[in-house]
Amino acid sequence: MKIPFSRIDCSGNELSYVSEVLESGWLTTASKAARLEEKMAELTGTRHACAVNSCTAALHLALEALGIGPGDKVLVPTWTFTATAEVVRYLGADPVLLDVDSGTFSLTPETVEQALAENSHVKAVIVVHFGGQAAPVLDGTSEGIRRICERHGVWLVEDAAHALPASEKGIPVGAMGHVACFSFYANKTMTTGEGGMLVTNDPDVARRARIMRLHGIDRDVWARFSGVGGKWEYDVVAPGFKYNMPDINAAVGLAQLERLETMRSERQRCAEYYLEHLADLDCIELPVVRVRPDEHAWHLFPVVLKRNAPIERNRLIELLAADGIGTSIHYKPLHRMTYYSERYALDPSRFPNAEALWNGCLSLPIYSLLSNQELEYIVARLRSHLGC
């Protein structure tokens, strides 16, 4: 069998919506991107959505609109992709990397509270809803990260690259912080090839993001050409970026959105299969599910080999690859990456949980097109290699 780590599911109206764009003669940002923005605002229960060409761009725009700059610090989990932290550096500010919880791989209220007590000049916290599960942002039995941020007067930004659609107690990811950023990269739970979306309830952040996503021009290209009169006229009010989402990509996104919940529930089917059929193995840790399974986007299914596992993680990856099974690692933590480690003189001992996870973690295939027969094969091969 050949089971790739990820497979793209474009079995809906993707081709037909892209054809409409090609036939329209207007390939860049236009009505399809505007429609995708409306739909995303609706889905996340937010007032404003701004379509861009990546989640990285959305994160950059979010921090820029919040006024983050040199001398500021932003709290970021070490367990994430570099985009979450690099955008802080784009603006000349400094990311403060924090350890994560070993069961959910996400920041905890306690870690955030402690980091706020230990660091001055913190302007924002970026939470990552790792693997598709909401981070503990809302209050539970104790105060959540959102309330801690409010008490300290710092912005809460959601890196929701993995988490569409996801929610907790009925509150959608995207509406939990001040601004949220989604990724539509090829392997995400919804794709536009490359793409991203910023959502917020703050009209000032939305206005600034809209201007900065297109060269600091005070009017969208689409607004200039679809309206009547004054077509050519525009002003440049800031040195902005080139982050707008072309309509070809938005067309794919609109088709994906139509099947988003179906694709999510298929991922849940895979997760439930793994949870049930790997539960008795005492040499691996399964991910801790702290939200209702149907509120989880299930972008990733990470497992962690314990110390008593009979083989090492890298060897297991090789054996599974020989079986035709693709796996991946999420993540090599940022404090182990040369740039962050050297620039901020980071000692791995400050990140005990992430260090333990990093030694044993691997992500198993999980996607809507993964059949039950393939799941059975993955579990059988895994069990045979682990022999525990």
Ligand X SMILES: Cc1ncc(COP(=O)(O)O)c(C=O)c1O
Q: Interface with ligand X by CB under 6 A: which range of 79-87, 278-286, 288-296, 336-344?
A: 79-87
The yes-or-no answer on residue 188 being catalytic is yes
Rounded Cα distance, 278 and 272, in Å: 10
84 is a contact residue toward ligand X (CB under 6 A): yes
Rounded Cα distance, 219 and 45, in Å: 25
Q: Whole-number minimum distance, CB 128 to ligand X, in Å?
A: 5
Complex with ligand X: residue 29 or 80, whichever CB lies closer: 80
Applying CB under 6 A, the site for ligand X has a residue count of: 14
Yes or no: say if 244 and 213 are a contact pair by the CB < 8 Å rule.
Answer: yes
| Contact with ligand X (CB under 6 A) among 196, 246, 333, 365 | 196
128 is a contact residue toward ligand X (CB under 6 A): yes
Q: How many residues does the chain have?
A: 388
Q: Interface with ligand X by CB under 6 A: which range of 52-60, 269-277, 305-313, 380-388?
A: 52-60
Q: Interface with ligand X by CB under 6 A: which range of 136-144, 155-163, 363-371, 376-384?
A: 155-163
Q: How far is CA 251 from the centre of its chain?
A: 21
Convert residues 357-376 into a mask of x (bound to ligand X by CB under 6 A) and - (unbound). --------------------
Complex with ligand X: residue 81 or 273, whichever CB lies closer: 81
Order of strands across the sheet with 361-364? 284-285, 301-305, 361-364
Angle subtended by helix axes 14-24 and 31-44, to nearest 10: 140
161 is a contact residue toward ligand X (CB under 6 A): yes
Rounded Cα distance, 356 and 306, in Å: 9
Q: Whole-number minimum distance, CB 287 to ligand X, in Å?
A: 16
327 is a contact residue toward ligand X (CB under 6 A): no
Name the active-site residue from 188, 242, 306, 332.
188
Tell me which amino acid residue 211 is.
I
304 is a contact residue toward ligand X (CB under 6 A): no
Burial (CB count <10 Å: 0-12, 13-18, 19+), residue 215: middle
Which residues, listed in sequence order, are joined to residue 96 by a DSSP beta bridge? 75
Count the neighbouring beta carbons within 10 Å of the beta carbon of residue 47. Answer: 13
Relative to beta strand 196-200, strand 179-183 is antiparallel
44 is a contact residue toward ligand X (CB under 6 A): no
Q: What DSSP element (H or E) covers 165?
A: none
Q: Interface with ligand X by CB under 6 A: which range of 7-15, 54-62, 264-272, 283-291?
A: 54-62
Which residues, listed in sequence order, are joined to residue 302 by a DSSP beta bridge? 363
The catalytic residue positions are 188
Residues at the site binding ligand X, with contacts judged by CB under 6 A: 54-56, 80-81, 83-84, 128, 159, 161-162, 183, 185, 196
